[in-house]
Amino acid sequence: MTLNVFELRQYAMKPGRRDELITLFERAFVETQEAAGIHLIGLFRDLDQPDRFVWMRGYPDQAARRPALEAFYNSNHWFAHRAATNATMTRSDDVLLLRPLSSALAPDVAAPVPTGEQPGSGVVVLGVHRLDGPLDPLAEAFRLTFAGALAEAGVSVGTVGITDPTTNSFPRHPVREGEWVLVWLSRQPDERAADAALARARTDPRLAPLFARTLQLLRLRPTARSRLQGGPPIAG
């Protein structure tokens, strides 16, 4: 299934309560969101900010997004867990609504969600870069040039998205509006490999125009039930 719309969600947690939310999320919100038509892409602990939880979810298209969200967030199941969920965080509106840069770079949800019997593995590196509007040539340069240079440095990208300017069809959950970004993800086997590859990439002069636009570079540890796990870099 191709996800033509997906969300990057970053939650600011109350001190020390990130694992509490992850435990609740993985027990109560994985199968129930999937059943509503919400496809979970990845769940992550930010390695550099212990009070940030990052996750991603997607939909086949915009027409599928609103009914899927309404089905889940109007359910008795959500209402039963809403207070406990919201009590763990201070902010949940740092959300980017994205579409794939190309169909080949859409999130992959072919694999089943892990059962959680094994811990999460590896590291996912995620970059967020500023675009100067929908016609910014940086996006095309990423596809034609930067992705290959990143791969040569060991940062092969498997998913790339840019801002989806469609009006948010589920305003109960705000998204960041009025800005354009490009987001990419790279699977890495461990922190050491991720750091070495990023160091090579950031000193490559071919990639200087990309890193000059960096808003965030995140190093993320997948949780046990994250569909997207770290591992050998995916070819870009």
Question: Of 3.30.70.141, 3.40.50.620, 3.30.70.100, 3.40.50.720, which CATH number belongs to 5-222?
Answer: 3.30.70.100
* Residue 188 pLDDT: 97
**DSSP designation for 154:** T
HSE, side-chain direction, 13 A CA sphere, residue 200: 13
Residue 232 pLDDT > 90: no
* Residue 161 pLDDT: 98
User: Amino acid identity, residue 198?
Assistant: L
**Where residue 233 falls among pLDDT bands split at 50, 70, 90?**
low
Would you say the C-alpha torsion 73, 77, 80, 82 has a positive or negative sign? negative
Name the 3-class secondary structure at 176: coil
- Helix, strand, coil percentages (3-state) for the chain, rounded to 5, are 35, 30, 35
Domain boundaries, the chain: 5-222
Residue 234 pLDDT > 80: no
For the chain, the average pLDDT equals: 96
Q: What is the mean pLDDT of residues 77-101?
A: 98
Query: Tens digit of pLDDT for each residue in 161-179?
Result: 999 999 999 999 999 999 9
Query: Tens digit of pLDDT for each residue in 34-53?
Result: 999 999 999 999 999 999 99
Q: Which residues of 18-39 are buried (b: 16+ CB within 10 A; e: fewer)?
A: beebbeebbebbbeebbebebb
